[in-house]
Amino acid sequence: MASGGFMLQHSDTEKDVEAVELAFDSKNRGSNSNKWKKPWNVSSFTQLAAPVFNAVNSYQKFIVVVCVIIFISFFTSAPVVPHWFLPKDPKVVIILAANEGGGVFKWKGPQEWSVERSSIANKRDYAKRHGYGLTIKDMTLKKRYSHEWRESWEKVDILKQAMRQYPNSEWFWWLDLHTYIMEPQRSLESQFLNNLDNATFRSLEEFNPLAIPEDIAYVDYSKPINLVITQDCGGFNLGSFLIRKSDWTDLLLDAWWDPVMYEQMHMEWEHKEQDALETLYSRQPWIRDGVSFLPLRDINAFPPGACSDNADDQRYFYQEGDFVINMAGCEYGRDCWAEMEHYKAISKRLTNWWRFM
């Protein structure tokens, strides 16, 4: 009896458990079936999307206006959207004069393409490392006016374009294609920008290869520095220079590009923009106010072969540790590709991993 009673009780318990499990399974199956019973179809999507489409149709004019404002703000210099919504312009912008579209006077060969790729990659890596901007300007479009070809006069026009492109940037660093940054771990700030007054010299007393008059009346060297250039054996070197965005710079670029001065003097100026700037510097006190000079090897060191008449003057030629090499004139009797590969190898050897720590 006891045994039988025990078995009956156990049997009842099993039935109870089975009943609970069946009820639980039935509930879950019911909920799952309700959840997945109705498949996702086009009509369901249409029902959900209909309010969105209706809202777009109702406010389409407003949406178009907002889209136009956003486009103008982000892709032009017009400050339509508050500045805190816009990407911040970098302090320094590198302007690289390249020729990505092909040859100007002849088709480029493989070595010319290689030189261009190496130069662009060098500047792009440097700009990314230090948070600078980089704009690559295609030099195939050199015609400023339909009636003339101002070859080697494109710098002024391109500087103006870059300043419109980056209206809030402070410094613009022009670099010719045949330049290479040898010490990319150095920023411009640490190199000289944070100490311009001590790193540069304002007058021609230190170095004056063209024998420009050192002193003219009404020059005020206490005014801010707006143009940082170097001099080589031929005078002012514009293969690598920095210019600050300012009212002074706007006036300089207008005077530099002046078509009247160009018409009067372009037949006498062998080096075009360089000669024009030297003439302005020689005659205009207000231009001297804003110009300062760096030693050539700071941003413009030459390889052997450049300034060949001054081959013994170490102020011109690259030495290990110099910041930038400028293979100026390599296309005239020298091998640009061989020089570029040579200095790329030196830079790679100098920039070992521990130098970035």
CATH number of the domain that residue 157 is part of: 3.90.550.10
Number of domains composing the chain: 2
Residue where a domain stops, chosen among 86, 105, 137: 86
Q: Which residues of 208-226 are buried (b: 16+ CB within 10 A; e: fewer)?
A: ebeebeeeeeebeeeeebb
- CA atoms of 298 and 296, how far apart (whole Å): 5
Q: Is 5 inside a domain boundary? A: no
- Considering the domain architecture, whether residues 303 and 331 belong to the same structural domain is answered as yes
- Considering the domain architecture, whether residues 132 and 182 belong to the same structural domain is answered as yes
- Considering the domain architecture, whether residues 102 and 175 belong to the same structural domain is answered as yes
- Considering the domain architecture, whether residues 224 and 293 belong to the same structural domain is answered as yes
- Considering the domain architecture, whether residues 71 and 132 belong to the same structural domain is answered as no
Q: Could you list the residue range(s) of the whole structural domain that residue 321 is in?
A: 92-356
Across the strands, what pairs with 235? Answer: 232
Q: For 212, which DSSP code?
A: -
Q: What is the pLDDT of residues 278-333, one digit of tens each?
A: 888 998 999 999 999 999 999 999 998 888 778 788 889 999 989 999 998 888 88
- Return all residues near 340 (Cβ < 8 A) that are at least 6 apart: 114, 115, 118, 119, 178, 180, 327
- Considering the domain architecture, whether residues 222 and 340 belong to the same structural domain is answered as yes
Pick out the chain residues at pLDDT < 70. 1-50, 52-53, 55-56, 73-87, 99-108, 139-153, 259-271, 352-357
- Considering the domain architecture, whether residues 118 and 193 belong to the same structural domain is answered as yes
pLDDT at 260 (0 to 100) = 62
- Considering the domain architecture, whether residues 76 and 126 belong to the same structural domain is answered as no
Q: Is 261 inside a domain boundary? A: yes
Q: Is 30 inside a domain boundary? A: no
- Considering the domain architecture, whether residues 124 and 75 belong to the same structural domain is answered as no
Q: Please, are residues 347 and 180 in contact by the beta-carbon 8 Å criterion? A: yes
pLDDT at 7 (0 to 100) = 46
- Considering the domain architecture, whether residues 78 and 148 belong to the same structural domain is answered as no
Q: Is 12 inside a domain boundary? A: no
Q: Is 21 inside a domain boundary? A: no
Token pair belonging to 67: 């889209």
pLDDT at 36 (0 to 100) = 44
The pairs formed by 314-322 with CB atoms below 8 angstroms and a separation of 24 or more are 315/207, 316/232, 316/233, 318/182, 318/343, 320/346, 320/350, 321/183, 322/182, 322/183, 322/297, 322/298
Q: Is 36 inside a domain boundary? A: no
For the CA atoms of 84, 89, 91, 95, what is the dihedral angle to 10 degrees? 180
Q: What is the pLDDT of residues 187-218, one digit of tens each?
A: 999 999 999 989 999 988 888 888 888 888 99
pLDDT at 270 (0 to 100) = 62
Q: Is 322 inside a domain boundary? A: yes
Q: How many CB atoms lie within 10 A of CB 5?
A: 9
- Considering the domain architecture, whether residues 110 and 79 belong to the same structural domain is answered as no
- Considering the domain architecture, whether residues 314 and 170 belong to the same structural domain is answered as yes
Q: Is 39 inside a domain boundary? A: no
